[in-house]
């Protein structure tokens, strides 16, 4: 510096020392430290129940999942007193009901979100948005009772698996609408305008530009909504009681699911049943975990490139 | 191919707010017209009425006449989508479609409007990229994402995308304001070439740019704060920058503003 500089250094102000800045403020350093500690404690406290639940289910239910029968057999003809049998009937039921629920809710939810973001102006849009907000807050048992009142009391129909799907649909639609709406709003308006300026009609712009751009976010939202719906129990207890046998017909009889299997076995209070409770709980956690991973992977392989 | 634009007594509104008042001007085919003026005076708004993009904004509406070779763009029977196919647009910030490759970005206008023939599409892609002076830089990576290019390249990609649908008129809304000087130079050279085929209208804040690229310059200003913007003067660029008729124009160009 001094060899290169032609400036008379004595004319420059003296280099600042730490003292000129007043040193590090003691109060601020203390607050920084305190906030750091509080944050870490909060983090650990939040983590405890999660780790605990995972640990307990793994310890108490893990051995059930290692048995091949768990994945291939139902509980048909096995009493709570006896060991053995599997959970395939409940796994199947949960997957079928989740799939059917998704098939009904995703088109309705995504289209509602498209309406709200791309077309909705004025009173109707406000009303729809308000309804979605209310629907989000409906407790699952209320949704179940509403479907029960309609399906059984009003129409005089049997309790059927499809009625369960309808109740779950009521719970899934608002989450799909909200998450899709957020994702569509994230698509910059410039992209829509760029497309309009090429003489592309609005509907095609939405279908080919807006939705592909937000595709991974929409899928993630749908999968999270689905995961939530899979664990719902209240509609199942009211509309879809447990049965120990494999059932795949949505329009006839009862369909067992993992939550009702957990509930049923929990009430038995016998060791084989308790084992099955933990096993079913772990299976449900695993399925939802896999769904979440799938959501991430789809997000990674999305079409938005940089 | 290029067409003449005639604007007559144009008033532009955002809801009840009158943003621009009484604009009348003519843009000759195969020429470059620059819109200059302070921020918020309605240059971009006027530009967006020339391809009916203004009405995309909720509450946006227009009074008066905009004609393309005697065809009224705001006639009730006129389809805004068809207007936008004839009058292309390049925006302030480069906005390639993030889900598409370079090739698909250029072909987007044709593809989304139903052209499927791959050979034909490839020809258009090459011709448009050459027309936008981008072909040599990207010909080996047409399948790479368009968003991976530099800002200047992205803007030329957007120009290629706009000319790929073979418009009559090309509107540019401050196309260089997000670019460095070298990319700006590349775009300005390109504008000079484009005017042999298209009618070009460009909004710019850069008066040297207006002087460099345009044949005709229109100066817009607000009447007063809170009043609608208006067209103060439109004339040959030479005349506007050497000997403008209006005092306001001279003040603005010479930097003695206000």
Give the per-residue pLDDT at A97. Answer: 94
Give the per-residue pLDDT at A306. Answer: 53
Beta bridge partners of B67: B6, B72
Placement of tokens 């239910």 in the chain? A61
DSSP strand pairing (B60-68 vs B71-72): antiparallel
Looking at the partner chain, which of A201, A205, A306 has a beta carbon nearest the beta carbon of B148? A306
Q: In this complex, do A196 and B145 lie within 8 Å of one another by their Cβ atoms?
A: no
Q: In this complex, do A193 and B91 lie within 8 Å of one another by their Cβ atoms?
A: yes
Is there a domain that residue B11 lies in? yes
Is there a domain that residue B216 lies in? yes
Q: Is the pLDDT of residue A305 over 70?
A: no
Q: Is the pLDDT of residue A303 over 90?
A: no
Q: Is the pLDDT of residue A299 over 80?
A: no
Give the per-residue pLDDT at A2. Answer: 44
Give the per-residue pLDDT at A104. Answer: 96
Looking at the partner chain, which of A192, A197, A208 has a beta carbon nearest the beta carbon of B84? A197
Is there a domain that residue B230 lies in? yes
- Convert the pLDDT of each residue in A63-107 to its tens digit: 988 988 899 888 887 877 788 888 999 999 999 999 999 999 999
Q: What is the mean pLDDT of residues B231-250?
A: 90
Q: What is the mean pLDDT of residues A53-71?
A: 92
Query: Considering only CA atoms, which of B112, B230, B8 is closest in space to residue A206?
Result: B112
Beta bridge partners of A7: none
CATH architecture of A86-300: Orthogonal Bundle (1.10)
- For residue A303, which residues of chain B lie inside 8 Å, CB to CB? 99
DSSP letters, A75-123, are: -TT--TTS----SHHHHHHHHHHHHHHHHHHHHHHHHHHHIIIII--HH
Is there a domain that residue B47 lies in? yes
Q: What is the mean pLDDT of residues A267-291?
A: 92
Under 8 Å CB pairs connecting chains A and B tally to: 84
Exposed, middle or buried, A203 (CB in 10 Å: 0-12/13-18/19+)? exposed
A298 vs B30 pLDDT, higher one? B30
Is there a domain that residue B75 lies in? yes
Is there a domain that residue B228 lies in? yes
Looking at this predicted complex, what is its ipTM? 0.89
Total Cβ atoms within 10 A of residue A13: 5
Please state, rounded to an integer, the average pLDDT across all residues of chain A: 88
- For residue A126, which residues of chain B lie inside 8 Å, CB to CB? none
Q: In this complex, do A197 and B58 lie within 8 Å of one another by their Cβ atoms?
A: no
Looking at the partner chain, which of A192, A196, A213 has a beta carbon nearest the beta carbon of B99? A213
Confidence of residue A241 (pLDDT cuts 50, 70, 90): confident
- Convert the pLDDT of each residue in A130-165 to its tens digit: 999 999 999 999 999 999 999 999 998 888 999 999
Beta bridge partners of B23: B10
Give the per-residue pLDDT at A128. Answer: 94
E strands, chain A, are none
- Convert the pLDDT of each residue in B139-160 to its tens digit: 999 999 988 899 889 999 999 9
Cβ(B146)–Cβ(B179) below 8 Å: no
Torsional class of B21: left (φ above 0), alpha (ψ -120 to 50), beta (otherwise): beta
Percent composition of chain A: helix, strand, coil (DSSP 3-state, to 5): 75, 0, 25
Q: Kindly list the domain boundaries of chain A, sorted by start residue.
A: 86-300
Going across the sheet that includes B71-72, the strands are: B71-72, B60-68, B5-14, B17-27, B229-236, B216-222, B32-36, B199-203, B169-173, B87-90
What distance in Å separates residue B2's CA from the closest CA in chain A? Answer: 17
Total Cβ atoms within 10 A of residue A251: 9
Q: In this complex, do B113 and A200 lie within 8 Å of one another by their Cβ atoms?
A: yes
Q: In this complex, do A198 and B93 lie within 8 Å of one another by their Cβ atoms?
A: no
The CATH number that applies at residue B60 is 3.40.50.300
Give the per-residue pLDDT at A15. Answer: 60
- For residue B58, which residues of chain A lie inside 8 Å, CB to CB? 121
- For residue B162, which residues of chain A lie inside 8 Å, CB to CB? 197-198
Q: Is the pLDDT of residue A298 over 70?
A: yes
Is there a domain that residue B143 lies in? no
What distance in Å separates residue A208's CA from the closest CA in chain B? Answer: 8
DSSP letters, B40-81, are: TSSHHHHHHHTTT-GGGSTTEEEEEEEEETTEETT-TT--HH
Confidence of residue A1 (pLDDT cuts 50, 70, 90): very low
| Residue B182 belongs to domain spanning | 5-96+169-253
- Convert the pLDDT of each residue in B172-195 to its tens digit: 999 988 888 888 888 899 899 888
- Those residues whose C-beta lies under 8 Å from the C-beta of residue B8, and which sit 6 or more positions away, are B24, B64, B65, B66, B67
Rounded distance between C-alpha atoms, residue B220 and residue B23, angstroms: 9
Indicate the number of domains in chain B: 1
- For residue A195, which residues of chain B lie inside 8 Å, CB to CB? 97, 108, 112
Give the per-residue pLDDT at B58. Answer: 86
């Amino acid at each position: 510096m001094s060899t290169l500089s032609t400036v008379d250094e004595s004319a420059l102000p003296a280099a600042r020392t730490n003292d000129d800045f007043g040193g590090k403020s003691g109060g601020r350093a203390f607050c920084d430290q305190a906030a750091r500690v509080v944050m870490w404690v909060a983090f650990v406290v939040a983590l405890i129940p999660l780790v605990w639940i995972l640990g307990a289910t793994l310890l108490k239910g893990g051995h059930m999942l290692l048995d091949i029968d768990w994945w291939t057999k139902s509980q048909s003809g096995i009493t709570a007193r006896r060991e053995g049998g599997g959970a395939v009937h409940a796994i199947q039921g949960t997957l079928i009901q989740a799939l059917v629920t998704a098939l009904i809710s995703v088109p309705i939810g995504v289209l509602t979100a498209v309406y709200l973001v791309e077309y909705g102006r004025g009173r109707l849009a406000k009303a729809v948005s308000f309804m979605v907000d209310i629907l989000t807050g409906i407790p699952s048992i209320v949704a179940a009772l509403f479907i029960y009142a309609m399906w059984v009391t009003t129409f005089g129909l049997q309790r059927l698996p499809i009625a369960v799907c309808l109740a779950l649909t009521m719970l899934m639609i608002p989450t799909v609408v909200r998450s899709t709406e957020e994702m569509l709003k994230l698509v910059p308006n410039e992209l829509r305008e760029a497309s309009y300026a090429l003489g592309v009609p609005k509907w095609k712009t939405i279908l080919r530009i807006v939705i592909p751009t937000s595709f991974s976010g929409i899928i993630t939202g749908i999968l999270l909504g689905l995961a939530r719906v899979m664990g719902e129990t209240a509609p199942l207890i009211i509309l879809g009681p447990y049965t120990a046998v494999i059932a795949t017909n949505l329009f006839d009889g009862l369909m067992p699911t993992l939550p009702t299997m957990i509930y049923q076995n929990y009430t038995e209070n016998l060791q084989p049943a308790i084992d099955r409770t933990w096993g079913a709980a772990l299976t449900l956690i695993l399925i939802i975990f896999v769904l979440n991973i799938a959501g991430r992977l789809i997000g990674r392989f999305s079409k938005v490139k940089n | 191919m290029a067409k003449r634009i005639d604007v007559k007594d144009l008033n532009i509104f955002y809801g009840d707010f009158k943003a621009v008042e009484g604009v009348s001007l003519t843009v000759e085919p195969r020429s470059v017209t620059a819109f200059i003026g302070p921020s918020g005076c309605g240059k971009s708004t006027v530009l967006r009425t020339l391809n009916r993009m203004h009405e995309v904004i909720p509450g946006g509406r227009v009074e008066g006449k905009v004609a393309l070779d005697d065809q009224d763009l705001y006639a009730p029977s006129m389809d805004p989508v068809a207007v936008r196919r004839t009058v292309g647009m390049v925006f302030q910030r480069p906005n390639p479609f993030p889900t598409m490759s370079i090739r698909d970005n250029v072909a987007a206008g044709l593809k989304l409007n139903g052209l499927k023939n791959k050979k034909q599409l490839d020809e258009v892609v090459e011709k448009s990229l050459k027309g936008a002076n981008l072909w040599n830089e990207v010909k080996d990576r047409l399948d790479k994402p368009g968003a991976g290019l530099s800002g200047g390249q992205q803007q030329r990609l957007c120009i290629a995308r706009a000319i790929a649908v073979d418009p009559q008129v090309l509107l540019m809304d401050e196309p260089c304001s997000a670019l460095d000087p070298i990319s700006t130079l590349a775009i300005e050279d390109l504008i000079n070439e484009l005017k042999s085929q298209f009618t070009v209208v460009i909004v710019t804040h850069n008066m040297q740019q207006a002087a460099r690229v345009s044949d005709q310059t229109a100066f817009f200003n607000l009447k007063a704060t809170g009043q609608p913007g208006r067209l103060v003067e439109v004339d040959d660029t030479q005349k506007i920058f050497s000997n403008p008729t209006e005092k306001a124009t001279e003040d603005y160009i010479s930097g003695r503003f206000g």
